[in-house]
């Protein structure tokens, strides 16, 4: 017991931004495999599937025996998001016509990842963690500007300039992968993908037509594997 306690004290720590989706869940498993002690962070910002995402966050944290978890509400996003983003404002229609990576969709939440990374960095500094891990994916993203390598590189420079603990790193282990790579790697590492949630629109079963569902299904189809979550359409 004493040896386990000493190991936990000496173990490197990393803050993982864990939405409960497929990408962030794989990031958590990858960082755990690298022997980091995980501190998982979940943000609730008025998104349509907030409760379902929180359930998945806790399911993945449980699967990795994470003892230190932060669940952080960001209620101001509702005020910012009304009239701007369909991820928050239910009076706006989510895109159901397929992903166009050349156009930023209306599901984009203004500077969401930047705000979340700022808070996660503050937690990393407080907890003396080596860095923050986030599941951004550039190739198969929906065209979001805060999923780009250039943004991550710039943000890491800002962390160095703006923190007392100026060596906090940003880990983006999925940034060069596509969704089929993510599915394969997740299954290889034993990620319970049936416990993750990607749908923007529904919490009972996935709609199959929003951008996030389409990208997820594309990944499973290209990997030649059937997704085990239930869809309204698209997972035949």
pTM, two decimal places: 0.93
Distance in angstroms (rounded) separating the CA atoms of residues 136 and 145: 11
For the record, the structure tokens of 99 come out as 């992903």
pLDDT of residue 141: 61
Q: Is the pLDDT of residue 8 over 70?
A: no
Instruction: Express each pLDDT in 32-67 by its tens digit.
Output: 999 999 999 999 999 999 999 999 999 999 999 999
Task: Tell me how far apart the terminal alpha carbons of the chain are, to the nearest angstrom.
Answer: 49
Instruction: Express each pLDDT in 15-25 by its tens digit.
Output: 999 999 999 99
- The CATH class that applies to domain 2-179 reads alpha beta
* 149-155: long-range pairs with CB below 8 Å, 24+: 149/175, 151/113, 151/114, 155/114, 155/117
């Amino acid at each position: 017991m004493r040896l386990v306690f000493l190991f936990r004290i000496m173990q490197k720590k990393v803050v993982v931004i864990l939405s409960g989706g497929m990408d962030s869940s794989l990031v958590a498993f990858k960082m755990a495999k690298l022997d980091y002690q995980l501190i998982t962070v979940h943000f609730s910002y008025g998104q349509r599937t907030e409760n379902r995402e929180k359930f998945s966050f806790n399911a993945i944290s449980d699967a990795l025996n994470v003892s230190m978890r932060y669940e952080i509400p960001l209620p101001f996003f509702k005020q910012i998001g009304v009239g701007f983003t369909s991820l928050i404002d239910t009076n706006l229609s989510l895109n159901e016509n397929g992903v166009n990576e050349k156009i930023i969709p209306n599901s984009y939440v203004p500077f969401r990842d930047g705000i979340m990374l700022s808070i996660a960095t503050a937690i990393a500094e407080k907890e003396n963690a080596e860095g923050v891990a986030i599941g951004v994916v550039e190739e198969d993203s929906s065209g979001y500007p805060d999923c780009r390598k250039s943004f991550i590189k710039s943000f890491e420079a800002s962390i160095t300039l703006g923190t007392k603990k100026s060596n906090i790193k940003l880990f983006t282990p999925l940034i060069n992968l596509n969704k089929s790579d993510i599915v394969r790697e997740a299954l290889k590492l034993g990620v319970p993908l049936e416990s993750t949630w990607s749908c923007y629109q529904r919490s009972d079963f996935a709609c199959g037509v929003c951008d996030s569902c389409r990208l997820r299904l594309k990944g499973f189809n290209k990997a030649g594997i059937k997704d085990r979550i239930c869809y309204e359409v698209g997972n035949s």
